[in-house]
Amino acid sequence: MLEMTREEFEELVAEALDRIPPELTRLMDNVAVFVEDEPSPDDPELLGLYEGTPLTERGEWYAGVLPDRITIYRGPTLRMCESREDVVAETEITVVHEIAHHFGIDDERLHALGYG
C-alpha cells in the first residue's frame, strides 16, 4: 500500500476542492467536506460518500438543517493507487463525484462523464 500521512492526504483533498471552478463552489450550499481514514466495514473500498439533501431536492422545508456531508476516505484510495500521481488524480475524481451528488447528479450520469 502506498504511504501518505493524513495531513498530506487532507492537503490533496483541499487542492482538489480548490480546482473546482468558482462558479460552482459559489452555488454549493450548506455542505462540509471531511477526510476519514476508513469507510464503514460494510463497504471497505468506498472512496467517498455524500450524505445529505441534493440542491435539486431542497424545497421550502429546507431550513435549519445540519450541513450535507462529503467524506473522502484515505485508506481505500491509497490501497488502489500505485503512485502519488495516481492518488492526486483519484482524489480529484472522487471530490468531483461527491460534489456532483450535492448538485443532484446521479451515479449513472457521473459514470458516463468519466467520474465513476
Cell of 83: 503512485
Global pTM reads: 0.92
Query: Grid coordinates 450524505 are at which residue?
Result: 51
Q: Which residues of 50-66 are buried (b: 16+ CB within 10 A; e: fewer)?
A: bebbebeebeeeeeeee
Q: What is the pLDDT of residue 115?
A: 72
Residue 113 lies in a domain: no
Q: What is the CATH number of the domain that holds 34?
A: 3.30.2010.20
Residue 115 lies in a domain: no
Domain count, the chain: 1
Q: What is the pLDDT of residues 48-90, one digit of tens each?
A: 999 999 999 999 898 889 999 999 999 999 999 999 999 999 9
Residue 57 lies in a domain: no
Q: What is the pLDDT of residue 78?
A: 98
User: If pLDDT is split at 50, 70 and 90, which confidence band does 114 have?
Assistant: confident
Q: What angle do CA 49, 52, 54 make, to 5 degrees?
A: 100
**Domain boundaries, position 74:** 4-52+65-105
For residue 35, is pLDDT > 80? yes
Cell of 28: 454549493
Comparing CA positions, the residue from 95, 68, 110, 69 lying closest to residue 9 is 95
